[in-house]
Amino acid sequence: MSNTYSCSDGSRLKKSVIDRLIVKAKAEKVRQFIDEHGYVFCEECYTSNAFKFDMSHDLSVNKCQQNGTTELAFDVNNISILCRKCHQIKDKLF
């Protein structure tokens, strides 16, 4: 099947399942972050006063899928909260 990607345990997930798990992981990331810090701020520049915050993958979803470590795409520890400005800078670097 072309529209599935491997996890490191050898199991394969459909893209639609992966996308759903990513949405859940991002929501969980915000929940954990607010639980720990009490509010949302950029993990790169620490601003809490951004126009918009983005959920950024440390290892991109594409790389996770290509590497056969698809589970990292929905691992909360692989997601950072960045302000839009830092997110744009980061995406240019990778």
Q: Count CB atoms within 10 A of the CB of residue 21.
A: 16
Q: Count CB atoms within 10 A of the CB of residue 63.
A: 14
The size of the interface with Zn ion (CB under 5 A), counted in residues, is 5
Q: Count CB atoms within 10 A of the CB of residue 41.
A: 18
DSSP 54: E
In the bound state with Zn ion, the residue whose beta carbon lies nearer, of 42 and 64, is 42
Stretch near Zn ion under the rule CB under 5 A, chosen from 3-11, 14-22, 30-38, 44-52:
44-52
81 touching Zn ion, by CB under 5 A: no
Among 13, 22, 25, 42, binds Zn ion (CB under 5 A): 42
